[in-house]
Amino acid sequence: MAIQVTRLLHTRMRVADMQASVDFYTRVLGLSVLSRHSSPRGSELVFLGVPGSPEEIELCAFPASGPVRVPEDLVHLAFQVDDLGATIQRLEQMGVAVTDGPHDSRSGRFCFIDAPEGYEIELIEQRQE
């Protein structure tokens, strides 16, 4: 029988350039820095939050682990937006390229952008029922 987890707390993503990543997630996506500290082994950690969502993103810079390699099409984060068209216009104004889409699906519309380090970000406008 499986254990019963009760909540997703955070997702960790290793980064090489902490400042570039923090700037992207705060300036482009509007996330908030919730905390910053060093781990016992010396990693630089920054926890980010999405307004209204309890889950967090943990950015971890630890040069001793070697270079950050993000395999293409393996990892992405998905964020909900209210209006994908307006979101794409705002991204264009900020100089952030849409790398795929927009596309329509049964549940709504979506597109992708790239974050620093090569992480893919999916932006989803869910269809209102």
Angle at 120 between CA 116 and CA 123, to 5 degrees: 115
More confident residue, 69 or 45: 45
- 74-129 CATH fold: 2,3-Dihydroxybiphenyl 1,2-Dioxygenase; domain 1 (3.10.180)
**Contact, 63 vs 17, CB < 8 A?**
no
Q: Where are the domains of the chain?
A: 9-62, 74-129
Q: At 8, is the pLDDT very low, low, confident or very high (cuts 50, 70, 90)?
A: confident
Residue 120 CA, chain-centre distance (Å), reads 8
- The per-residue pLDDT for 18 is 96
**Contact, 55 vs 9, CB < 8 A?**
yes
Closest by Cα among 83, 90, 70 to 109 = 83
Q: State the first-to-last Cα distance of the chain, in angstroms, to the nearest integer.
A: 36
- DSSP letter assigned to residue 97: P
CATH class of the region 9-62? alpha beta
Residue 124 β-bridge partners = 80, 110
Instruction: Provide the H-helix boundaries in 5-106.
Output: 18-23, 84-93
Among 44, 58, 117, 122, the active-site one is 122
Same fold, 9-62 and 74-129: yes
Pairing type for strands 108-114 and 120-126 reads antiparallel
Known catalytic residue: 58?
A: no
Q: What is the pTM of this model?
A: 0.88
- The per-residue pLDDT for 117 is 87
